[in-house]
Amino acid sequence: MPEGPVGLIGLGIMGMPMARNLLKAGYSVVAYNRTASKAQELAEEDGATAVGTPREVAEACSTVITMVTDSPDVEAVVLGEGGAIEGIQRDAVLIDMSTISPSVTRTIAGRLKEKGAHMLDAPVSGGSWGAIEGTLSIMVGGDKAVFDRCMPVFEAMGRNIVLAGPNGTGQTTKLVNQILVVGTMNAVAEAMVFAAKSGADLETTIEAVKGGAAGSWQLQNLGPRLIKGDFAPGFMVKLQQKDLRLILEAAREMNLPLPVTSLVHQLFASLEAAGLGDEGTQALVKAHERLAGIEARV
């Protein structure tokens, strides 16, 4: 277990439950959030302290986690005015658990190395439910010795924890994950609309196919939610769109066609245009329902 408190920058839908799992594991937590009231809320719990800048987090902690929305947000809290890099300790580790650009990750890692500090890019999968339950999958890029040193921190928040390679490969692996996630979610949505149009019992259909070759996390966890009209987010449409933008930008740099992923990006765009960006990704079924003229509900 690393000595001293763990810093956490970003207390949103993912960061707050991750901070609470660190507290449950026996760590003290020094937290910063742009909306200060969230940090103050956490500070009411035993072992947690709120501070006013990312720099203060880094000054207090040899292990600092960032969990914010996008590449510019990570750059701001790490490299910006009052950022973590201004207070980073020598031999400290900054663990970025956001999903951002692999190239931006490598740039930040280089800047931290100049300060004598280390970086692990460690994006996660499992949504808010995985963050609450401490069962996130964590894909890590960085030095193995640093990874091994931080394993107890990761184990407080996740279950499937894999070192993918050097800095940037954690983010690349997360983008691979998201290609698989959106393609599977699209298949679940299409399948439920097909079943509804055919007059099949939707709950029975899911029960019949989820244990076979068609089974998936999306079908087992999000299929029942979407047929019941539960579109509360484990992961929001607008955040999925951010990840898809990162994927398509990287693919464009490689001249790599991703036809299905591009199509799903457009289907999610139709949900955003309808004001549904804050709904869970299972709301993708609504795009297919509009095309088909039928609802897939029990």
Q: pTM for this structure? A: 0.92
Looking at the chain, which residues constitute the CATH 3.40.50.720 domain(s)?
6-165
Architecture of the domain spanning 173-292: Orthogonal Bundle (1.10)
Q: What is the pLDDT of residues 17-44, one digit of tens each?
A: 999 999 999 999 999 999 999 999 999 9
3-state secondary structure the chain: CCCCCEEEECCCCCHHHHHHHHHHCCCCEEEECCCHHHHHHHHCCCCEEECCCHHHHHHHCCEEEECCCCHHHHHHHHHCCCCHHHCCCCCCEEEECCCCCHHHHHHHHHHHHHCCCEEEECCEECHHHHHHHCCEEEEEECCHHHHHHHHHHHHCCEEEEEEEECCCHHHHHHHHHHHHHHHHHHHHHHHHHHHHHHCCCHHHHHHHHCCCCCCCHHHHHHHHHHHCCCCCCCCEHHHHHHHHHHHHHHHHHCCCCCHHHHHHHHHHHHHHHCCCCCCEHHHHHHHHHHHHCCCCCC
User: Quick check: 2 pLDDT over 60?
Assistant: no
Which residues are part of the catalytic machinery? 174
Q: Which CATH superfamily is domain 6-165 in?
A: NAD(P)-binding Rossmann-like Domain (3.40.50.720)
Q: What is the pLDDT of residues 260-275, one digit of tens each?
A: 999 999 999 999 999 9
Q: What is the pLDDT of residues 248-264, one digit of tens each?
A: 999 999 999 999 999 99
Average pLDDT value over all residues in the chain: 97
